[in-house]
Structure 1
Amino acid sequence: MAEDGLRLTLRFLGVGGAAAVAYAALAALMTRAGVAPWIASAFCYAVLIPVVYWTQRRVTFRSNRAHSEAFPRYVATQALGLNLAVFLPLLAPKFASGQPLVFFAAVVAGISGLNFILLKFWTFASRA
């Protein structure tokens, strides 16, 4: 049982890590090509949602939940994470600017943990 949980966690981190690298690389390329950084960021984030959804669904969670149920839940989970990433620095501006590496590492860890829980128990959970 614990081994299954470890494998699931490693798959989640692998898929998420690959998505993060793809996002950063694509957004950087677009920005260097002259696209405004905020547009490049939003575009890449949006473009990767269906790709990462499919990979998380098939590879990480191996879910058979209907796309009509899982995909809207996945988008909602991503929207929640994106909103937290935007608003947490606004709620703690002194910490965000005083210790930015620590702050943003904590944001990444917190949102990743929340996403894992939501994806496992809500988005991709088997129907009872």
Structure 2
Amino acid sequence: MSASLQSLMRDQMAPTDTGTTLLVQLVAFIVIGGAAALSFVGVSSAAVALFRSVPAWLVSSLCYAAFIVPVYLMHRRYSFQSATAHGRALPRYVLVQLCGLALATAFSYLAYGIVGLPTLVAALVVIVLTSGVNFLVLRRWAFADGA
């Protein structure tokens, strides 16, 4: 083909399978988050029993805080395969976690207080909604590569 005809042709981008990438990210996010949640329950329960002189709410909060960085590292590497600098991604991750707490509170208020869902259903709704929003924000903002 002549160079002049070739210059008129659009360059085709290599096809990307974003659906598979999204699915892999979502599955990794659920597995890591679920494992972290189960681990937190075990560690927190043991720590509350071990440190009886410290208020349980404080021990539980400290346990939760101890999970932030390891879970961040796993999400960064496995869920989102992000190369975003830690100095940028970690503060954003922590902010998303704080916003997630506020969202969980709001979703709980709606599920329990406004709609009046049974406890198990309300808890599942809160987990799914909060986790879903967290996943999207982490994927698009905290771990997004680029500017």
TM-score by length of 1: 0.88
Q: Which has the larger radius of gyration?
A: 2
Please tell me whether residue 59 in structure 1 is matched to residue 78 in structure 2.
yes
Please tell me whether residue 72 in structure 1 is matched to residue 68 in structure 2.
no
The alpha-carbon deviation at position 36 of structure 1 amounts to 2.9
- What's 2:134 paired with? 115
Higher relative contact order (CA 8 A, sep 6+): 1
- What's 1:50 paired with? 69
Matched length: 128
What amino acid sits opposite 1:99 in the alignment?
P
Alignment check: 8 A CA contact 1:96 1:103 kept = no
SS in structure 2 at match of 1:126: coil
CA distance 1:30–1:87, change in 2 (3 Å) = farther
SS in structure 1 at match of 2:84: coil
How many Å separate the matches in 1 of 2:111 and 2:78? 36
More helix by share: 1
The alpha-carbon deviation at position 100 of structure 1 amounts to 1.2
Please tell me whether residue 36 in structure 1 is matched to residue 55 in structure 2.
yes
TM-score by length of 2: 0.78
- What's 2:14 paired with? none
How many Å separate the matches in 2 of 1:31 and 1:90? 27
More displaced 10-residue stretch of structure 1: 81-90 or 47-56? 81-90
Q: Which runs of 5+ in 2 are unaligned?
A: 1-16
- What's 1:20 paired with? 37
Identity %: 36
How many Å separate the matches in 1 of 2:145 and 2:130? 23
The alpha-carbon deviation at position 96 of structure 1 amounts to 8.0
Alignment check: 8 A CA contact 1:96 1:104 kept = no
Q: Which runs of 5+ in 1 are unaligned?
A: none
